[in-house]
Each structure stands twice: as C-alpha cells, then as structure tokens.
Amino acid sequence: MAQLFLPLLAALVLAQAPAALADVLEGDSSGIYRCEVQHGIDDSSDAVEVKVKGVVFLYREGSARYAFSFSGAQEACARIGAHIATPEQLYAAYLGGYEQCDAGWLSDQTVRYPIQTPREACYGDMDGFPGVRNYGVVDPDDLYDVYCYAEDLNGELFLGDPPEKLTLEEARAYCQERGAEIATTGQLYAAWDGGLDRCSPGWLADGSVRYPIVTPSQRCGGGLPGVKTLF
C-alpha cells in the first residue's frame, strides 16, 4: 500500500474544498508545501502553493462600544462589504496572532474575543490562560461589538490625493468623478490584508476615517500593524 507523507496544510489542500480552508488555515500559513508519496522503492513528490486570504476584524460604528444586537451585527458587517465571522475564522485569526480585548458577536450567536496576553479585565473564562474567550450563546437582543470577516476586494483600492481636505460627501463625489466609489471598511481591511500600507487617513463609506499600516512606526499609529481608526 502506498504511504503518504505530507505536512498537515498540504493534506488539507488536497482533501478539502477551498471554502473549508478559509476556516482552518491561519493567516500566516501561506507558502509552498511539498508532499511525498512512497511505494516500495519508488517515490515521487510534488509541491502545492497555499495562499491564505481573508481577515477577521472587530467592528463598531464610531465610538459606540457594544451597540449591536445579533441581527444588527449581521447587518453591520454586510453594510461594510463583509460578513459576520464564524467561530472557526476567529480561532484561525487567533492562531495567527490576532488579539482583541472586546467581546463581539459571531455567526453562531455566540460572543467571544481572542486574547494572546491575559491581563486585568481581559481574563474572560480562561483562568488567566491565552485563548478565545467564549460567553456562549447569548440573548440576541443583548448588545456587543461584532467580528466581521472580509476576503475579496473585488477591485483596486487606492488613496485619492485631492488638493485640500474633504468632507464625507465631498469624498463620495471625488470618487464618483473618477469612475470609482468610496471604499467600505471591509474593503480596506481586505486591501490591508493584501499588503496595502498608507500612513494617510481617509474617509470610508460608513463615515469612519481609517488608514492601513503593514510596516508600523511611531509616527503612523504606533508599533503594531493594522487598520488604524481615527473615528
């Protein structure tokens, strides 16, 4: 009988549908994986390239913390060009290093948050250990933030360069005049996940002002990468 020796990720690529991979691969798992088949004295090998797309992020509108019911959370993610994250997607993000000390809705009506470094007010139900804190299934009318998931950009996101600062409505018109539309928050996160790095805040469709940082610096939002929010 032939024996198959291959890394776990390569096995997943061969055995699972692409839709399933989004729920089990970590954000930093992209790369080339080699599998080897041995049968007696004969052996052969091949390589498969794995490109992991998609990003999980906490979303709130403005400065209103814990403002979404479960249905409101689903609608909020859809409104910004994303969808509410699954528990598997949040856990994969946690395995990739994601941390957020804010409880948010997930697609199964549970409320969770990922913690890498437990600290005061961020212990949750893990007794001081790192992990994804889980409040369990929560009353749909209770209010929390929401974890959204964005994957496909569906176009190119670029930063406009008007001669002077714009209001939100002026920003919408500026984009329309150039045959484009103002980007959603989900699109900005997807572009950041794809490598977009701009130390210049800009309007988004939900009225927020954000900018994507891949290579962090103190003058561009501090020492951590991410999508920075002004308001």
CA max distance for the chain: 71
Domains of the chain, residue spans: 3-50, 55-150, 168-229
* pLDDT tens per residue across span 51-76: 557 999 999 998 899 999 999 999 99
The structural architecture, per CATH, of the domain 55-150 is: Roll (3.10)
pLDDT at residue 17 in the model: 40
* pLDDT tens per residue across span 146-178: 999 999 888 899 999 999 999 999 999 999 999
**CA dist., res. 183 & res. 39, Å (int):** 53
Average pLDDT over residues 187-193: 96
Q: What is the pTM of this model?
A: 0.80
Confidence of residue 128 (pLDDT cuts 50, 70, 90): confident
Task: Give the strand pairing for 145-150 and 83-84.
Answer: antiparallel
The structural architecture, per CATH, of the domain 168-229 is: Roll (3.10)
* pLDDT tens per residue across span 21-40: 444 455 555 556 667 777 77
**CA dist., res. 76 & res. 112, Å (int):** 17
| 55-150 and 168-229: identical CATH topology | yes
